[in-house]
Structure 1
Amino acid sequence: METAIRTFFANPRFAVVGASSDTAKYGYKVFAWYLSHGLPVTGINPKTPTILEQQTVPGLDSLEAPSETSVSIITPPAITLKTVERAKELGIKVVWCQPGSENEEVLQFAKNNGITCIANGACVLVDGENGLKLAGRDWKL
């Protein structure tokens, strides 16, 4: 798992699918984590144009450089599967499925299609700072 997390944080860009303006939701907390660590992150939410004063985009297709982007996913498994399928088409190579966003079908699709998928209880909020260190990224709180 350490190698996957290092790979995730080695990319120059990040996106959060399921970013939310609701402070009680993990989509908000994860998006805020990226911002608080000074990382270049794009929130993906088709219904909310701005979160934490940052402009969001409606989907992966709107990312500036998808193949250079690591994607955190905080959606129900059925939406996660569609997201990972689209990620494959766009050349996205690494995703982080936050707890509860993945199921066996998502994990199998990622594995069968060469997508590194961090899952099985790993959480950006818990494991992210160690991941930044593994990737040699400096950050400030």
Structure 2
Amino acid sequence: MTTLDPIDQFLQGNVFAVVGASDNRQKYGNKVLMAYLKSGYRAIPVNPTADEIEGQVVYPNLSAIAEPVHGVSVITPPSVTEKVVREAIDLGIQHIWLQPGAESETAIRIAQEAGVEMLHSGPCLLVALALR
């Protein structure tokens, strides 16, 4: 029996939310969104201050997304990350990837206590998808 590494396990889904998505192409919130889209994944941008990013409808939070989400990439300040992780857990989302700079020890602990698969303190999604 082969066990998938955590990144492969995260990428087994088809629908991903990008919390902290940005319409600024220089920001990682945009780069992560575009990496998903260019790799053929369904990526849903989440940002409370935008309506559309890269032609995609933007949702103000995870709770507003009507379809099931396999995983969440988080590109937010650590204090916001904790709120995002709690919301994801409440919604039953089992895969969370904290992109570099979004890490929070409290968020990591919350996810671990909830039994959620959490990627953190490692490569970002951009590197992982570029290696595929």
* Gapped regions of structure 1 (runs ≥ 5): 134-141
Q: Partner of 1:17 in structure 2?
A: 19
The number of residue pairs the alignment matches comes to 129
Deviations 1:11-57 (A, max 9, x none): 22111000000111100110111111121110001111101111111
The structure in which a higher percent of residues are helix is 1
Contact 2:39–2:129 (CA<8 Å) still a contact in 1? no
Q: Partner of 2:117 in structure 1?
A: 116
SS of match in other structure, 2:11:
helix
* Gapped regions of structure 2 (runs ≥ 5): none
Q: Partner of 1:30 in structure 2?
A: 32
Kindly, what percent of the aligned residue pairs are identical? 38
Q: Partner of 1:90 in structure 2?
A: 91
Contact 2:14–2:70 (CA<8 Å) still a contact in 1? yes
CA distance in 2, matches of 1:58, 1:114: 26
Q: Which moved more, 1:46-55 or 1:120-129?
A: 120-129
AA matched with 1:71: V
Q: Partner of 2:10 in structure 1?
A: 8
Shift of 1:70: 0.6
Quick one: higher RCO (CA 8 Å, sep 6+), 1 or 2? 1
CA distance in 2, matches of 1:69, 1:129: 20
SS of match in other structure, 2:127:
helix
Shift of 1:129: 4.4
Q: Partner of 2:72 in structure 1?
A: 71
Q: Which moved more, 1:118-127 or 1:3-12?
A: 3-12
4+ aligned runs moved over 3 Å, structure 1: none
Q: Which moved more, 1:80-89 or 1:103-112?
A: 103-112
Normalising by structure 1, what TM-score? 0.85
AA matched with 1:118: L
